Structure 1
Amino acid sequence: MTATESPATAPVRFVVMYETPSDVDAFERHYDEVHIPLAKQLPGLRRYTRSRQPAPVRGAPYYLVVMLD
């Protein structure tokens, strides 16, 4: 946080990490049709980033990593 930002205006990032779903097609369809439209309604959302091939940090890589700023 910079000196000009108050806690109410400080940037926030949500990181969501998904393991590989058992039914990838159903997951993708539901994610595209339900999750993305809901996320885009978040007040103040500035950026939505979706990574399909994230590098593993520890253990097996996640199927999908999403960041909401």
Structure 2
Amino acid sequence: MSGHDPDADRAATVERLMERLSGFAQGIGMSGTGARAIIDRGIASEPLAGDVDFMAKARTWMLIALG
């Protein structure tokens, strides 16, 4: 049996990206809850995307959500 927990990995990824994107989200007036939801859904849809690629997409999705 492996000690690998995909849910824990995903939660850690969400937290890491929230820390990195929180200033952007705050700057455009998006709530932390809204930003977290976008990040969580994005990770679920593309779990193998790298942080840099995902952050670029997440920024775009946040702007679209506010539009």
Q: TM-score range by the shorter chain?
A: 0.3 to 0.5
Q: Which has the higher contact order (CA 8 A, sep 6+)?
A: 1
TM-score w.r.t. length of structure 2: 0.35
TM-score w.r.t. length of structure 1: 0.35
Higher strand share: 1
Higher helix share: 2
